[in-house]
Structure 1
Amino acid sequence: MISDLIDRDDRFRGILDRLSSKSIDDYYNPYRLFEWPDALPADMWWMSPELTTTHGTDIAAGLGEEQLHALSRHESMNFYSLNVHGIRELLIEVVRRIHTTGFETPSEFFHHFIGEENEHMWFFAEFCLRYGGRIYRQPGGGVASPSEQSPAVESLLVFTRILIFEELVDHYNAKMAADERLHETIRAINRIHHQDESRHIAFGRELVELLFEEVRKTSTEQELQGISDYLRRYLTYSFESLYNPQSYKDAGIANPLEVRRALLESPARAEAEAQVFRKTRRYLEKTGLVR
């Protein structure tokens, strides 16, 4: 059982203790931390232009500065909306496992994780509602999981999806936290999220490796290949969720569905995905999760 692996892993227990202590030392009250101006200027970047989905494409070259600023505004709303939806889903999965058989040891850190992620969801939603008037809808579809999963495989996939999601958004958080072209309110929410996510990612990588060690003992080569194929599809699905046709429509770009299709097929998309997931893919391949 995974609990046996965790209980025997002194390194993991030590990491949990350090991360829990850091969560306590770094604790902040998000409801008092942020300053929320009545409005943010429209004639500036709301997302680093290099992170927008049209960057480096002919579509961006055909847009004026005002429309590029508008696009960055609506793409930032989509990004923070994705955070709201992603956090909701990961909270559901972690709450289902806290203080259950197999997860006794990490449950102490789960408490910190749940509290921090709940606060992240609040300030991302607050930003969307204050400055965009809504939260963008969650993208449809998804990625079908391998059939007939064991509980061990299900937990492995859950925490690997959480890790992929966190590493995706953290890439954007780190870039925007340091970007002086952005308003301080935007930089602040990205900075504080990056601070917390660094702990969550460190925890997630350790937990995923232990979960995979358990799964590998009882899985066939075909089952392991199925896990790898699923995670490859999930990486692409996660990245493509950034390409929301509603963002293009709200920015005044004509034919938003066609624009999305063209962007997904462009070399710039493949290059951007490779860059964003560079460290994530290296980790997944090193552990053997992705072949």
Structure 2
Amino acid sequence: MSSEVIDRSARFQGILGRLSAKSIDDYYNPYRLFEWPEQLPEAMWWMSPELTTTHGTELADSLGTEQLQKLSRFESINFYSLNVHGIRELLIEVVNRIHTKGFETPSEFFHHFIGEENEHMWFFAEFCLRYGDGKIYRQPAGAGAAAPSAKLESLLVFARIMIFEELVDHYNSAMAADERLHETIRAINRIHHQDESRHIAFGRELVQLLYQDVKSTATEAELDEISGYLRRYMTHSFESLYHPQVYRDAGLADPYEVRRTLLASPARVVAEAQTFRKTTKFLEKTGIIR
């Protein structure tokens, strides 16, 4: 590693110490924290309407409030289902690296990260199973994209984790503060946002370090490949919110055509840009995406 990377690594150690201490101070027992009502009213917003996939589209204009609220219920279940799947995948990647060569420094924080993410996965799954007709939506086939090369694997893994967490946190922070939502919904978003703020701070520091290490030996073509891959991954992640089964469960005709129409809408472009506004600014500032 270059001296610059070593200096930043020393800074990283200080940040990890503070984040680990914060994890200990903020520790809670999720199995006792949440109150789970027997049922939630169906005639309400289950997700902030501005975050739903139909917001700002002609389809939303054609649907009444009752149907939009019904749609928001299934969209919320899909959002929490994506959390379950995304957390499972990131846990596998982090567990595979804890206490291994090259990850000695962050391993202590990895323990906090793994414990917290496991608990997040539990309460998101619990919400889906209790209030989503006992199901967790599966991700559509063909979701992933192949990594450019094995030597870039760790950088891309932690960049994907960071992107996923920043997408989720954009929704969490909005819904935690939305008084139109039921307190149970606000509570799970609020507690997740509290933990994710630490995970995002950690992820950004680690991704920068990994990128500096890769950049020291990578070709321009490889750096371009990283940039293109992460831009595609952000779009893929956002498009996972547009699930045809959601539209079918909400009673919309021709759910695959609904998805195609919504993905082609100018409102989708605006929503994706807003969701990843901070993420894109960070990745462009660090040079990771060009």
Q: TM-score range by the shorter chain?
A: over 0.9
How far the C-alpha of 1:149 sits from its partner, in A, is: 2.3
- Amino acid aligned to 1:23: S
Q: Distance in 1 between matches of 2:233 and 2:215?
A: 20
Distance 2:15 2:163 in 1: 20
2:78 counterpart residue number: 78
Q: What is the match of residue 195 of structure 2?
A: 196
Q: After TM superposition, list the pairs within 5 Å mapping 1:73-152 onto structure 2.
A: 73-132=73-132, 133-150=134-151
Identity %: 77
Change (3 A) 1:37 1:6: farther
Q: Which residue of 2 aligns with 1:220?
A: 219
Report if aligned partners of 2:148, 2:226 keep a CA contact under 8 Å in 1. no
CA distance in 2: counterparts of 1:183 and 1:77, whole angstroms: 14
Shift of 1:8: 6.4
Q: Deviations over 1:126-152 (max 9, x none)?
A: 0000011110012221342344321xx
Distance 1:273 1:9 in 2: 32
> 1:177 maps to what in 2?
176
Q: Does 1:210 align with 2:201?
A: no
Partner SS, residue 150 of structure 2: coil
Residue 203 of structure 1 aligns to a residue whose secondary structure is: helix
Stretch deviating more after TM superposition (247-256 or 134-143): 134-143
> C-alpha separation between the residues in 1 aligned to 2:5 and 2:96?
20
Cα shift at 1:7: 8.0
Cα distance in 2 between the residues matched to 1:283 and 1:110: 23
The answer (yes or no) to whether the contact 2:91–2:117 under 8 Å persists in 1 is yes
Which residue identity lines up with residue 253 of structure 1 in the other structure?
L
Q: Write out per-residue CA displacement over residues 63-117 of structure 1, whole angstroms, 9 at most, x where no aligned residue.
A: 1111111000000000000000000000000000000000001000000000000
Amino acid at match of 1:231: L
Amino acid at match of 1:168: L
- TM-score of the aligned structures, taking structure 1 as reference length: 0.97
- Give ranges in structure 1 of 5+ residues lacking alignment: none
Check the 8 A contact 1:54/1:263 in 2, yes or no.
Answer: yes
Cross-structure match for 1:22: 22
Q: Please say if residues 146 and 226 of structure 1, whose CA atoms lie closer than 8 Å, have aligned partners that are also in contact.
A: no
Could you tell me how far apart the structure 2 residues matched to 1:67 and 1:41 are?
Answer: 14
CA distance in 2, matches of 1:283, 1:210: 14
Contact 1:6–1:12 at 8 Å: present in 2 too? Answer: no
| 8 Å Cα contact 2:80-2:125 kept in structure 1 | yes
Q: Does 1:275 align with 2:274?
A: yes
Q: Equivalent residue for 2:49? A: 49
CA–CA distance in structure 1, aligned partners of residues 201 and 271 of structure 2 = 23
When the two chains are superposed, the root-mean-square deviation of aligned CA atoms in Å is: 1.4
Contact 1:143–1:233 (CA<8 Å) still a contact in 2?
A: no
Identify the residue that residue 158 of structure 1 maps to in structure 2. Answer: 157
SS in 2 for 1:86: helix
How far did residue 10 of structure 1 move?
2.0
Q: Which sections of structure 2, spanning at least 5 residues, go unmatched?
A: none
Structure 1 residue 11 displacement after superposition: 1.3
* Residue 230 (str. 1) matches residue 229 (str. 2): yes
How many residues are matched? 288
Contact 2:244 2:256 in 1 (8 A): yes
**Contact 2:46-2:73 at 8 Å conserved across structures:** yes
For residues 164 and 30 of structure 1, do their structure 2 counterparts lie closer, same or farther at Cα, with a shift above 3 Å needed?
same
TM-score (ref. length: structure 2): 0.97
Mapped to 1, the partners of 2:73 and 2:8 lie a distance apart of 49
Q: Distance in 2 between matches of 1:142 and 1:82?
A: 12
1:39-85 deviation digits (Å, cap 9, x = unpaired): 00011000000000000111011111111110000000000000000
Letter in 2 for 1:74: F
CA distance in 2, matches of 1:122, 1:148: 33
